[in-house]
Amino acid sequence: MRSTQVLRVTIPTRLARPAQVSTSRADARARALALYRQYYRSAPEIVSLFAMDIPPSTLRAKYRQMFEKNRHVDDLAVIDVMLHKGQVEFQETINAWKQVPHMLKLFAEEETQPQPVTFLEKFYATKDEGRSVTGKGF
């Protein structure tokens, strides 16, 4: 007796979309919302696909933040380019053409320490780097 197993086969062109030109702001907004919904609905699949140690809600919040960051853009040509790049990113993510470090790079800015700006901040940052194992600076 032969067992039947369902294998998930990635079809590279499954998510491919031709570049589109928005005719109005309403059209661009509708396309942006559709892309956002794709990302939002795929968050659990993305988390499991890349074996990320975060809940899907965190990934959804990050995607929301990325879309909100570009909310102020008014030029239709720029919006079209951004939507095309977002669709390509989505296709690369779902088809697993990215690797785990590429996905974790989304969260890199939350984990990095702020760079020193003032003279004293720079001074104390270099002073801490020069400490020895004993905790003394000399």
Asked whether residue 79 is assigned to any structural domain, the reply reads: yes
pLDDT in tens, 51-88: 999 999 999 999 999 999 999 999 999 999 999 999 99
Q: Is the pLDDT of residue 128 over 70?
A: no
What would the DSSP string read from start to end of 97-129? -S-HHHHHGGGHHHHSPPPP-SHHHHHHHHHHH
Residue 4 confidence class, pLDDT cut points 50, 70, 90: low
Q: What is the pTM of this model?
A: 0.70
CA 95 from chain centre, in angstroms, equals: 15
Q: Is there a domain that residue 65 lies in?
A: yes
84-121 tens-digit pLDDT? 999 999 999 998 888 988 888 888 877 667 788 888 88
Domain that holds residue 96: 25-129
In a domain, residue 13? The reply is: no
Q: Would residue 49 count as lying in a domain?
A: yes
On the question of pLDDT at 31 being above 90, the answer is yes
Torsion of CA 84, 86, 88, 93, to 10 degrees: -170
Q: What total number of domains does the chain contain?
A: 1
Query: Considering the domain boundaries, does residue 82 fall inside one?
Result: yes
CA dihedral (21, 26, 32, 34) positive or negative: negative
15, part of any domain? no
Helix, strand or coil, per DSSP, at residue 44: helix
